[in-house]
């Protein structure tokens, strides 16, 4: 769906999240019950893990605002499902507006990278790399993503296989460890 006109200019700091939400065209909510098989332990089906608001831009890019609740499922920190893009040429930029988190990326050859993603920071996700974000803080983790309109989301590959690494609380601290289920 392409808008027929342009969007008005808008600012996006953590204080402006409501402006983004009021311009959004699409809303996705993920509770524990929507994420069966993603965490090592089963999550309370009613527990809110994250929400995504999308703005379909009028031209070449779309934007996503992800708000992730703090918390864990067992000892595993709240995370997004993670996805590959259906388009092999679609890369993406992520910026953290608020909170404390991480991003894990995995290539089609299962090469793995993890990076911190904290307020004021951002990361580049190259095309061909699956990506998942994780809230390791004790407040909402709010992210802005910008991606090409034709990116598409492929969740199935991650649902089947998972990521090689997961983020667990170990001795009170977030740690990236090997995924025993991979
Ligand atoms: Fe993406």
Q: How far is the CA of 171 from the centre of ligand 1 (A)?
A: 31
Q: Distance of CA 17 to CAs 12, 54, 71, 156, Å?
A: 7, 12, 21, 30
Looking at residue 6, its pLDDT comes to 79
pLDDT computed for residue 136 by the predictor: 98
Ligand 1 centre to CA of 109 (Å) is 18
| CA 23 – ligand 1 centroid, Å | 20
**Amino acid 155: pLDDT:** 92
All structural domains of the chain, each given as residue ranges with its CATH number in brackets, are 14-178 (2.60.120.10)
pLDDT at 7: 84
Task: State in Å: Cα 88 to ligand 1 middle.
Answer: 12
In this structure, which residues have their CB less than 5 angstroms from ion ligand 1?
92
Q: Which residues of the chain have pLDDT under 70?
A: 1-5
Distance 75 CA to ligand 1 centre (A): 25
Dihedral sign for Cα 58, 117, 32, 48, please. negative
Q: What confidence score (pLDDT) does residue 5 get? A: 65
- What are 12-59's pLDDT values in tens digits? 999 999 999 999 999 999 999 999 999 999 999 999 999 999 999 999
C-alpha torsion 140→144→148→150, nearest 10: 20
Which pair of structure tokens corresponds to residue 44? Answer: 């309370």
Give the integer Cα–Cα distance in Å for 75 and 111: 24
Sheet containing 129-135, strands listed edge to edge, beginning at the edge strand earlier in sequence = 112-118, 100-107, 129-135
């Amino acid at each position: 769906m392409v808008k027929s006109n342009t969007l008005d200019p808008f600012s996006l700091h953590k204080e402006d999240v409501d402006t983004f939400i009021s311009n959004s065209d699409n809303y996705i909510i993920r509770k524990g019950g929507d994420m069966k098989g993603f965490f090592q332990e089963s999550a309370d089906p009613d527990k809110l893990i994250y929400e995504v608001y999308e703005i379909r831009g009028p031209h070449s890019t779309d934007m996503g605002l992800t708000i992730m609740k703090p918390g864990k499922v067992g000892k595993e920190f709240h995370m997004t499902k993670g996805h590959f893009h259906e388009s092999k040429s679609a890369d993406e930029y992520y910026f953290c507006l608020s909170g404390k988190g991480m991003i894990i990326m995995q290539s089609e050859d299962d090469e793995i990278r993890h990076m911190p993603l904290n307020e004021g920071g951002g990361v580049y996700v190259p095309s061909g790399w699956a990506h998942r974000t994780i809230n390791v803080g004790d407040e909402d983790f709010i992210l802005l993503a910008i991606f090409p309109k034709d990116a598409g989301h492929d969740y199935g590959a991650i649902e089947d296989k998972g990521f090689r690494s997961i983020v667990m609380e170990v001795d009170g601290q977030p740690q990236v460890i090997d995924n025993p289920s991979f």
